[in-house]
Amino acid sequence: MGIYDNTHSVAIGYILWIFGFTGSHRFYYGKPVTGTIWFLTLGLLGIGWLIDLFLIPFMDRNADLRFRKGRINYNVAWILLTFLGLLGVHRMYLGKWITGILYLFTGALFGVGYIYDYWTLNDQIHEINTDIFYPSTGQR
């Protein structure tokens, strides 16, 4: 792994930016607090949303520096969360089958789990990608 791993995509960031008044692009880049503010204020009444048009390359670089590349692809997980999150497909992709099936039958625990995953998905993936298994010792 290099100093700069391309974990996130500028293209995905701009696609999510189209729905920027929801803060989805900010959640994607690991900024849950400002993502929530964008969600509650409709992208700071559209002003923050327009400013983010120019900030996305910087947010992408910061996310690439912050999160570790590994067996779980951030882009795939975020697309699954964004479009199929209420069905738990992203959790199944992460290997979290029990909660994935639970999400499937409860609408992501009535939407609360969906919001939780928007806040924590990058960290969940980062944790999985940094979990190193040593087969000879059986230890992580």
Of 23, 35, 29, residue with least CA distance to 64: 29
User: 3 or 125, which is more confident?
Assistant: 125
| 3-class SS of residue 51 | helix
Domain ranges of the chain: 1-66, 69-140
Give yes or no for a contact between 68 and 129, defined as CB atoms under 8 angstroms apart: yes
| pLDDT tens per residue, range 49-97 | 999 999 999 999 999 999 999 999 999 999 999 999 999 999 999 999 9
What confidence category does residue 3 fall into, taking pLDDT thresholds of 50, 70 and 90?
low
Q: Contacts for 77-85 with beta carbons within 8 Å, 24 or more apart? A: 77/121, 77/125, 78/12, 78/16, 78/28, 78/121, 79/12, 81/114, 81/117, 81/118, 81/121, 82/16, 82/24, 85/114, 85/117, 85/118
The predicted structure's pLDDT at residue 74: 97
| 3-class SS of residue 105 | helix
Q: What CA–CA distance (Å, rounded) separates 79 from 15? A: 10
The pTM score is: 0.87
* DSSP bridge pairs for 134: 139
Q: Where are the alpha helices (DSSP H) in 46-111?
A: 47-66, 74-84, 89-93, 97-110
